[in-house]
Amino acid sequence: MKKGLLVFILFVCVLAVAPLFLRDPFLCHILIMIMMYATMSIGWNVIGGYAGQVSFGNAAFFGVGAYTTAILLVNFNVNPWLGMLAGCVLSVCLAVVVGYPCFRLRGHYFAIATIAVGEIMGVIFTNWDYGGAAVGIYIPILEESFTNFEFHSSKIPYYYIILCMLLVAIAVSYVIEESRLGYYLRAVKDDPDGARSLGIDIQKYKMIAFSISAVLTSICGTFYGQYVLYIDPSSTMDLMMSIHLCIIALIGGIGKLFGPVVGAFVFIPLMELTRVYLGSEGQGIDMIIYSLLVIMIAIWRPQGLWALFSRGGK
């Protein structure tokens, strides 16, 4: 474990100084996307990995975070940081409302129910005129500052903000793993009936895990809105995005602390680089490559790539 800690500190240091050497905005953008998806995938891992409840609707929380912040900012001039907080609160509300009935379902029923919820959210936001409907919302340009959560001359401030979010997510995930909650969640995953017979309130712990998952995804929604300065339903509530979050965790290692981080470092560059270097001619090539990767991992290495580093897994 000591060695692991050392590697982790080294990894954080490299990420922290990387912008000083990277002058290329595109590379900076890729790193930002990697860290954003890693954060969200850690969020997915809390409910999908630790608790074993496969959610295909997590993009809804991303959308709620992005939309809450944007609507509050555009219509009520509320500071984005406060908007982020409001987004988190609403995401948790959504998690509770959705989770309460859905967590009684098992296996495929649950997975498909989360798809349904995610898609319903997408339809609602596409038709909701106040929320910009299908056109989306342009986030107003404000003066560049940390308080305003907007920077126009450089991407580097965004880089450090998302790095902090990622570190928070890793810390949260670590605390869950080491705490009682983590043991309860693993019990819920491996043997729900056994856990119940020991007096563990399964519903409650699933709900807590789902809420944490919602918050970690929601803050990324806010970040994305402030980073791109434009949101619409197809970029924030897409089923494909929810699927990507699971795939990232799968590639790295489901239920492993650093699984989603490893997954994001493999998946995002693959997506972005094929898009750039193959252009429109290579449309679909990225999907072919990563789908084969996903299938191979699911068949032969369900513990993910992280297991390669940690020699046999934890």
Partner 1 sequence: MEGVFTQTLVSGILIGFVYALIAVGLTMIFGMMDIVNFAHGEYLMVAMYFAYWFFVLFGMDPLYSLPWVTVLLFLLGVITYYIFIRPIINAPMLSQIFVTFGILILLRGVAQYLWNADYRMIPQTLTSGNVSIFGIYVGVSQLVAAAGAVICNGLIFWFLKSTRMGMAMEAVAEDKEAARLMGINSDRMFALAWGIGIATVGVAGGLLSSFYYVFPEVGSNFCLVAFVVVALGGFGSVPGAFIAGIIVGLVEVLSGYLVAPSLKFMFVLLLYLGVVFIRPQGFMGRK
List, as own/partner pairs, every contact residues 289-295 make where C-beta atoms lie below 8 angstroms and the sequence separation is at least 24, other chains included. Answer: 290/247, 293/251, 293/266, 294/247, 294/250, 294/251
**The two three-digit tokens of residue 133, written as one number:** 């409907």
Candidate ranges 74-82, 161-169, 214-222, 290-298; the one touching partner 1 (CB under 8 A): 290-298
Under 8 Å between Cβ of 117 and 60: yes
115 binds partner 1, rule: CB under 8 A = yes
Q: With respect to partner 1, which residue has the nearer C-beta, 103 or 149?
A: 103
Q: Which of 157, 192, 269, 282 binds partner 1 (CB under 8 A)?
A: 282
147 binds partner 1, rule: CB under 8 A = no
272 binds partner 1, rule: CB under 8 A = no
Candidate ranges 6-14, 69-77, 104-112, 216-224; the one touching partner 1 (CB under 8 A): 104-112
239 binds partner 1, rule: CB under 8 A = yes
Query: Reduced to 3 states, what is the DSSP secondary structure of residue 230?
Result: strand
Q: Which of 15, 27, 54, 89 binds partner 1 (CB under 8 A)?
A: 54
Residue 251's contacts (CB-CB under 8 Å, 6 or more residues apart) are 262, 263, 266, 267, 293, 294, 297, 304, 305
Under 8 Å between Cβ of 243 and 135: no
Site size toward partner 1, by CB under 8 A: 42
Give CA separation, 230 vs 30, 82, 112, 124, 234, in Å. Answer: 18, 18, 30, 18, 11
* Positions that interact with partner 1 (CB under 8 A): 52, 54, 101, 104-105, 107-109, 111-113, 115-117, 119-120, 123-124, 126-127, 239, 243, 246-247, 250, 254, 282-288, 290-292, 294-295, 297-299, 302
